[in-house]
Each structure stands twice: as C-alpha cells, then as structure tokens.
Amino acid sequence: MTPSLPLARRALRVLQGAAGVLGARLLDRRRPLLVGWAVTNRCDLHCSYCDRPVAADRELTPEEALAVADDIGRSGVTLTNLSGGEPLLRADLGAIIEKLRDGGVMVSVCTNGRLLPRRLEEVRAANVLTVSIDGPEGVHDAQRGTGSFRSAVAGLEAARARGLRVRVHAVLTRHNLDSFDWFLDLGRAHHTALTFSPAQDFYLASPGVADMVPVRERYREFMDRAIAAREAGDDRLGDSVACLRYLRNWPDYQPIGCSAGQIFCRLEPDGALHSCGAVVADEHPVDVRQGLRRAFARLEPKGCKSCWCNTEVEMNLLYEMRLEALASALRTVTSVALGKQPRAAGVA
Ligand SMILES: C[S@@+](CC[C@H](N)C(=O)[O-])C[C@H]1O[C@@H](n2cnc3c(N)ncnc32)[C@H](O)[C@@H]1O
Ligand code: SF4
Ligand code: SF4
C-alpha cells in the first residue's frame, strides 16, 4: 500500500508524460498517457441527462480490474481518471486506486459524492477527487435527484476534512446559467477549483438531455464571466483560459488537434478500449486484456467534430502544444504530484 510515492518517482513520471506528448506530436509515436476508465456503469442516481445506469452489464472482475490497473502502471501512463457510472459502487475501487498508485500513476476519481463519507479511507490514495455539483440545491436536485445536493456537499466536506484534494464539476444546462456567482461562492467556501462543460447529446446521454441543453447566448454570457475571472487570476476556475475560450464556442465546431488514440484512450467497464468516449458508438473496440500498449496500438482513431468535454479539450490543447495549456497542465500536475490543495482565490 503506497499512499504517497517518493517525489522523485512522481517527478520522473511527469517528465515521461511531457516527453510522451512531444514524442506523439513531433515523432508520431502514439502511446497512452491518460486513460479515462469507466470502472462500472452501475449508478445509485439517475440524472436527467445521463443514461449510464441503464447501460449496466458485464464489467471486469476484481482480478481482471487489478491486472488492468497493474498493466496501466507498467505501460507508463501518467494519469488515470476513474469514472462510471458511479465508481464508488465498485467494492474494489480502493484496491484499483492503490494498484495504480503503486505503478506510479496519478489517479483522479469523478463521483456524485454520495458514498464519499463512508468510503474515504479507500479513496484517500487518489490524487484528486472531482465531485459533480450542478448548482444550488433546487437546480441540482431537479437535474440529479432529490437529496443528491446534500449528499454531494456532505461528500465534498468529508473529503476536504480528511485532507483530500477536491474539485467540483458542473454540467451547464438551461437551468443553471444564472448561477455563476453561486459557483464562485461554492469554490470560495469549500476551497475547490470549478470546471464546467455543456450538457451534451452524446453516447449514453439520456434522451431527456434534449430539453436541457443551454440557450446558446446565455451559455456564452456564463462562459464570458468564467473567462474574465480566469484572466483576472481567479484560481477557482480550474481550466485554462484557452480551454474556457474553446468551450465558449459551443455548439459551433472549432477545429482542434484531436489527441484521442494518440495520447489518451477510454476504457469501458467490460474492458473495451476506445480512443475517446465521444466515439464509442462509431468505433470498433479493442479488448484491453490483451495488454494496454498492444490494444492501444490497434486503435484506429477517427476523431470527431464535437469536442465539448473540458478534460478532452485541455488534453487536445496540450497536444497542440498551446503554451497556455502547457503551463496550466504543468501547474495542475505539479500541485497534484506535490499533494497541494488548490487555493481558492479570495480565501484568506
Ligand atoms: C458520467 S459521470 C460519472 C461519474 C459520477 N457518477 C458523477 O456523476 O460524477 C461523469 C461526469 O459526466 C457528466 N455527465 C453525465 N451526462 C452528461 C451529459 N449528457 N452531458 C455532459 N456531461 C454529462 C456528469 O455530470 C459527471 O460530471
Ligand atoms: S451523471 Fe453520474 S451520478 Fe448521474 S446518472 Fe450519470 S453516472 Fe450516475
Ligand atoms: S471529443 Fe472528438 S475531437 Fe474531442 S478528443 Fe474525443 S474524438 Fe477527439
């Protein structure tokens, strides 16, 4: 069990990651540096924009999942984002996190927060937790289910009290675009960074999402405020200005260097590897159990024209070698590697 790896080893993995991005971009050497791993499709909520819970079927057994986690470490992956469904529903999540950390991989976990107070010891080895909070209680509960706001905030507070690094992610819909100041207050009160993505009609989105997509002009006003705050140095905004500017253009397509299948990939609960979550329905999966590096080499990335998830946009800007995205990634990765809490601007 290794809650914190020696600093030199972590620094080396970060440098390997940076070299990997350069190699992929300049020398066309594809290799997985970031893995988005949906460890389960099961969920204890059924948010109005998400159909993950109805997709539940086969998932890797605990033995298979540990072997995959071990393989991810041996493949030199820099960061793995564990998501779902609700990842905390996997009883072996703690063992998966520890196996990844033992392999030198930085780990983030994206959760609805409900089970966090009961599972803190198991997730404490993760470098960062992202809790999904969509706005004030009424808005959040309307989108994510009655009582889900209080349990998300309780999870956030419990994780913070345990000294874990926590971020908040919000899905922007037509119902929370008036809440920008509320989000800033949340960031100040809980010392967390905030990230945003528009509600998308993508793979496994609920048909209900169609009634929730933001009104474009109001969405852009929200993002303009986020850009202005980030430009003014407010570090409650967790994404780079370049990423916020890109997302601001939703839903109008903007060309972006797609790094899916070049430096990152998406792993589904049953072990199916894809280049990106956005193209799961259009792509032949490759079974990860043959080995991550081998499976990754067999991917046939096609890219797409609908890049609206903040983590993928940041990754693509990095891949494009945009200086600002590089600086932002370096700042995040360094503070994560050093185990620092993000400081919320304006907090004494
Ligand atoms: C699929 S969830 C899995 C992790 C966890 N269950 C949670 O809710 O945080 C990952 C993120 O995707 C977001 N999400 C789900 N459906 C979405 C959609 N249709 N458009 C945009 N984001 C969505 C969630 O709100 C959450 O922040
Ligand atoms: S967004 Fe997360 S919590 Fe909500 S239904 Fe989807 S997987 Fe479950
Ligand atoms: S959403 Fe599309 S453009 Fe963006 S990383 Fe995925 S495949 Fe590439």
Q: For ligand 2, is residue 85 a contact (CB within 6 Å)?
A: yes
Listed residue (186, 196, 255) closest to 230, CA to CA: 196
Residue located via tokens 């037509």: 174
Q: Are 161 and 129 in contact (CB under 8 A)?
A: no
Q: Are 314 and 263 in contact (CB under 8 A)?
A: no
pTM: 0.92
**Predicted local confidence at residue 208, as pLDDT:** 87
Q: What is the mean pLDDT of each run of 10 residues along the chain (348 residues)?
A: 58 74 76 96 95 85 98 96 97 98 96 97 96 98 98 98 96 97 97 96 85 95 98 95 96 93 96 94 93 97 92 92 75 64 36
Q: What is d(CA 242, CA 196) in angstroms, rounded to the nearest whole number?
A: 14
**Predicted local confidence at residue 141, as pLDDT:** 98
Q: What is d(CA 346, CA 348) in angstroms, rounded to the nearest whole number?
A: 6
User: Pocket of ligand 3, candidates 246, 276, 305, 315: which has the most ligand atoms within 8 Å of its Cβ, to mutate?
Assistant: 276
Q: Which ligand is nearest to the CA of 173?
A: 1
**Predicted local confidence at residue 347, as pLDDT:** 26
Backbone angles phi, psi at 259, to 5 degrees: -100, 5
User: Pocket of ligand 2, candidates 45, 49, 168, 212: which has the most ligand atoms within 8 Å of its Cβ, to mutate?
Assistant: 45
**Predicted local confidence at residue 345, as pLDDT:** 31
Ligand 1 atom closest to the CA of 86, numbered from 1: 6
Ligand 3 atom closest to the CA of 304, numbered from 1: 2
Q: What is d(CA 23, CA 32) in angstroms, rounded to the nearest whole number?
A: 12
Q: For ligand 2, is residue 84 a contact (CB within 6 Å)?
A: yes
**Predicted local confidence at residue 340, as pLDDT:** 55
C-alpha of residue 337 to centroid of ligand 1, in Å: 25
Is beta strand 79-83 parallel, antiparallel or unpaired with respect to 193-198? unpaired
Q: For ligand 3, is residue 278 a contact (CB within 6 Å)?
A: yes
Q: Which ligand is nearest to the CA of 278?
A: 3
289 exposure class (CB count in 10 Å sphere: 0-12, 13-18, 19+): middle
Please report, for residues 4, 222, 261, the alpha-carbon distance to residue 175 in angstroms, rounded to integers and kept in the order given: 40, 12, 34
Pocket of ligand 1 (CB under 6 A): 43, 49-50, 52, 83-84, 86, 110-112, 132, 169, 171, 197, 199-200, 205, 209
Residue 116 burial (CB count, 10 A): 25
C-alpha of residue 27 to centroid of ligand 1, in Å: 34
Helix (H) or strand (E) holding 24: helix 7-27
**Predicted local confidence at residue 1, as pLDDT:** 45
Q: Are 100 and 330 in contact (CB under 8 A)?
A: no
Residue-wise burial string across 255-277, b where 16 or more C-beta atoms lie within 10 A, e elsewhere? ebebbbbbbbbbbbbbbbbbbbb
Angle at the Cα of 236 from the Cα atoms of 233 and 238, rounded to 5 degrees = 95
